[in-house]
Amino acid sequence: MGKVLSVLLMVLTLIVSPAFNSTASGQDVKSAPKLFIGGGALPDSMFKEFLKLTGPVAKLVVIPTASGDEMDVEEIQDNWHSRGFLNITVLHTNDREVASTTEFSEPLRTATAVWFSGGSQNKIADAYIGTPVETELYQLLQRGGVIGGSSAGAAIQSRVMIGGGGNEPKISTGLELLPGAIIDQHFLKRNRISRLIAAVRIHPELIGYGIDEGTAIVVCGNEYKIVGNSYVLRVEVIEGEIKIDAFEDGDIIPLAEL
């Protein structure tokens, strides 16, 4: 905990603007794209936040591909049942040929919510980027569905994706669920500030979001809300200089004004 606090104090000595609360933008959030972007190591209370977005009668598709080959489908379904979800389908393959078939992506056509589990975001990208799965995910958002994920399931949500690396990020390609962004996770816990700054310097047209463990960004259309017990840092380049803003639980930031 001391390390996290010292890192946060170091960040706050940079150009940090206080977070602010705002009222809803007036947009109909029922028809707006909805995302849940978790920083990893989420407590049960955070899944309740995801449930608020989806509703208990959601048709949830869980994609555990980031976790690897070995998985117990029944165990995954039981975990999500215990979180309040009633209708759960598990969708997984590491084979792009399988992912490209009409039959494989069929569950996504009637889904109202999707969750990407943690692990390696590169495994998600290798299996699904450029396949009908990617297309179906965008269509799900367009019809008012919800896409969420934590850890690797957060990193995959930006098109310019941090696929790994220490202070020097390994840049790859993810999903374009949150346009104009680069997402990093386990942020303060694993001291990834330098990595995200480096990624934003490579792509100064984008805004970096560093999400700590136990914390998430809940996106509804053109605004997001921070939920959880730690911080989200926004990193951007302004006139050649790095600017960092720190946000915490309850802060609501209209994305259109960033």
Q: What is the pLDDT of residue 23?
A: 31
Cβ neighbors of 114 (< 8 A, separation 6 or more) are: 60, 61, 62, 63, 108, 137, 140, 145, 146, 147, 148
Q: Which residues of 241-257 are buried (b: 16+ CB within 10 A; e: fewer)?
A: ebbbbbbebebbbbbee
Nearest to 63 by CA among 123, 22, 7, 13: 123
Q: So what's the pLDDT on residue 221?
A: 84
- Work out the pLDDT band at 255, boundaries 50, 70, 90: low
Q: What confidence tens digit (pLDDT) does each residue in 123-158 have?
A: 999 999 999 999 999 999 999 999 999 999 999 999
Q: What is the mean pLDDT of the chain?
A: 88
Q: How many Å is the Cα radius of gyration of the chain? A: 17
Q: What is the pLDDT of residue 30?
A: 39
pTM beyond 0.85, yes or no: yes
- For domain 2-8+32-257, say whether CATH 3.10.20.600 is its number: no
Domain edges within the chain: 2-8+32-257
Q: Which amino acid is at 6?
A: S
- What would the pLDDT profile of 189-202 be if each residue is shown by its tens digit? 999 999 999 999 99
Quick one: pLDDT at residue 82? 96
- Taking the C-alpha atoms of residue 254 and residue 34, their distance in angstroms, rounded to an integer, is 14
- On whether the CB atoms of residues 189 and 232 are closer than 8 A, the answer is no
Confidence of residue 224 (pLDDT cuts 50, 70, 90): confident
Alpha helices by DSSP H, listed for the chain, are: 2-12, 44-54, 73-82, 96-99, 106-110, 121-128, 132-142, 152-155, 193-202
Confidence (pLDDT) at 253: 73
pLDDT digits (tens, 9 = 90+) for 100-120: 999 999 999 999 999 999 999
Report pLDDT digits (tens) over 40-84.
999 999 999 999 999 989 999 999 999 987 789 999 999 999 999
